[in-house]
Amino acid sequence: KNEVEQSPQNLTAQEGEFITINCSYSVGISALHWLQQHPGGGIVSLFMLSSGKKKHGRLIATINIQEKHSSLHITASHPRDSAVYICAVSENYGGSQGNLIFGKGTKLSVKP
Amino acid sequence: KAGVTQTPRYLIKTRGQQVTLSCSPISGHRSVSWYQQTPGQGLQFLFEYFSETQRNKGNFPGRFSGRQFSNSRSEMNVSTLELGDSALYLCASSTSGTVTQYFGPGTRLLVL
């Protein structure tokens, strides 16, 4: 079993729809990250969370530490949101926080 | 501030050769992490360097090595290349004491 599981693997939405991507993890973490990867490979860090909720524009990320679960929401989705969204965790073992454990990603396609 | 840069962006090698990839972090960032991305395995952590010291290493064979220089620039080396080493190699930098990582555009390596 992977330490970081994402669902769904693929998601197709119509422009304007509300989108939710889920992430569950099985290890103790110091932080959870949501990343966005566009075709061509470049990765952008969207959020880093250790508790609660963060909002940036149309993106909202939440985390429930007790349930080991996080969600990424996109409101009023747009075709430019089409990308792969990756959940990653920094494992909490008291050492370096420079290594991440990644989920397999959710490929989002938003149709006009 | 300039972002994370990686050179070269694309590389073709043959089996048995060795390769060196370079990563220049954002100015002031002392931590550099390296990741491998393949279609089958997704993103996997290779190693992290902080102030010229390898702080953590992922589960990769000894053919994969790296180093960091006093100006925080980092190189990774893969010796005796195998077909399975074909991948996108990403580096990410961060400041001391934080876990927000900023990714470079990656080096796409093809081993023939």
Residue A44: the pLDDT is 92
* CB contact B88 to A (< 8 Å): yes
**Chosen from A47, A97, A106 to mutate, greatest number of chain B CBs within 10 A:** A97
| pLDDT tens sequence across A25-51 | 998 888 899 999 988 778 999 999 989
Beta-carbon separation of B56 and A98 below 8 A: yes
Residue A78: the pLDDT is 96
Beta-carbon separation of B101 and A33 below 8 A: yes
Angle value at C-alpha A54, between A45 and B33, nearest 5 degrees: 25
Residue B98: the pLDDT is 56
> pLDDT band for position A94 (50/70/90)?
low
Angle value at C-alpha B15, between B8 and B19, nearest 5 degrees: 30
pLDDT of A98 > 60? The answer is no
Q: Chain A: give the shortest CA distance to residue B2, in Å.
A: 15
Residue B2: the pLDDT is 81
Residue A96: the pLDDT is 54
Which of A49, A47, A112 has the alpha carbon at shortest distance from A82?
A112
Contacts of B102 in chain A (CB under 8 A): 45
> pLDDT band for position A97 (50/70/90)?
low
> pLDDT band for position B77 (50/70/90)?
very high
**Chosen from A96, A101, A104 to mutate, greatest number of chain B CBs within 10 A:** A96
Euclidean distance between CA atoms B97 and B83, whole angstroms: 37
Report the mean per-residue pLDDT for chain B.
Answer: 92
**Chosen from B5, B21, B43, B68 to mutate, greatest number of chain A CBs within 10 A:** B43
Contacts of B43 in chain A (CB under 8 A): 86, 88, 100, 102
Residue A85's Cβ-count burial label (10 Å; 0-12, 13-18, 19+) is: buried
Residue A111: the pLDDT is 97
Tokens of A33: 């990250």
Q: Chain A: give the shortest CA distance to residue B8, in Å.
A: 14
Overall average pLDDT of the A49-64 stretch: 95
Instruction: Report the chain B residue with the minimal C-alpha distance to residue A91.
Output: B99
Euclidean distance between CA atoms B70 and B34, whole angstroms: 17
> pLDDT band for position A79 (50/70/90)?
very high
Overall average pLDDT of the B68-96 stretch: 94
Beta-carbon contacts below 8 Å between A and B: 61
Residue A91: the pLDDT is 75
Overall average pLDDT of the A78-86 stretch: 96
Pick from B44, B90, B94: which is nearest to A98 by CB? B94
Report the mean per-residue pLDDT for chain A.
Answer: 91
Beta-carbon separation of B42 and A105 below 8 A: yes
